[in-house]
Amino acid sequence: MDKKIERQLSLPLKNAFQMSLRNFRIRFGRAIIVTMSILLGIAFFMSVMTSNSFTMALIEKGPENIKTILIENLEEIKVRQKWLVSLSLLVCTVGIINSMLMAVTERSREIGTMKCLGALDRFIMELFLLEAMIHGIGGSIVGSFLGVLIMTVVYIFQYKKIIISIFPVLQILKYIGISIILGTGLAIFGSIYPAIVSARMEPAEAIRREV
């Protein structure tokens, strides 16, 4: 029994989180690139959602003349939007995979060293996924607010003050929530493959690799 306890290897979540956060802070330049791809994807998603919310609010509470124009184009716009949003999120995920793979290659020696010090494959994966989560949460929070802001400005230019009086607060908060979950989910999803690549590296080979 004693032997079993002695044989434990561990990386407490708190330490792992600190390490990931530090990686994020110190490699800020690189981190920003990953975060940016989430930020932009989510900002686009959120701007579309905000625009939808405004449109629906205008149809419900807006003046008659605007209502008729909007209802006419509604269906066509919705189809096009779905296509655009999925495409942008796809591009954003590919961006994450790409930059995380670069991060793995860049840090291969570090990964090899950690393995020499007794890190299990699981620890390495954990570190990369936690880092992705930080990118995801940060990027999608900033991105979603950016999206709302931009669309609000655009609508205010077009429809003037009506927008402020019909501002669909609850609807938009709901979409912000969805964006954050979506953005974090995509960041983690996009990092699964790079994390597996990093975890499977053989220590001797990882250390030898020069980047």
Partner 1 sequence: MPREVIVRTINLKKTYMLGKIPLPVLKGIDLEILRGEYISIMGPSGSGKTTLFNMIGGLDKPTEGKVYIDEVDIAQLDAYELAWLRCRKIGYIFQTFNLIPVMTALENVMLPMIFAGMSTDDAREKAKQLLETVGLGDRLHHKPFELSGGQQQRVAIARALANDPAIILADEPTGNLDLRTGKEIINLLRQMNKEKQVSIITATHDLKMLDVSDRVIWIRDGMIERIEDRENLDIRVGHVEGEEAG
Positions in the binding site for partner 1 (CB under 8 A): 7-12, 15, 19, 22-23, 26-27, 109-110, 112-121, 123, 202-204, 207
Beta carbon nearer to partner 1, 33 or 120:
120
Measure the CA–CA gap between 69 and 56, rounded to whole angstroms. 12
Q: What is the CA radius of gyration of the chain?
A: 22
Least separation, in Å, of the C-beta of 208 and partner 1? 9
Least separation, in Å, of the C-beta of 120 and partner 1? 5
Beta carbon nearer to partner 1, 121 or 133:
121
Rounded alpha-carbon distances, angstroms, from residue 45 to 12, 32, 207: 35, 19, 41
Yes or no: say if 51 and 148 are a contact pair by the CB < 8 Å rule.
Answer: no
Beta-carbon count within 10 A of 156 CB: 14
Least separation, in Å, of the C-beta of 197 and partner 1? 16
Yes or no: say if 141 and 180 are a contact pair by the CB < 8 Å rule.
Answer: yes
Beta carbon nearer to partner 1, 116 or 164:
116
Least separation, in Å, of the C-beta of 29 and partner 1? 13
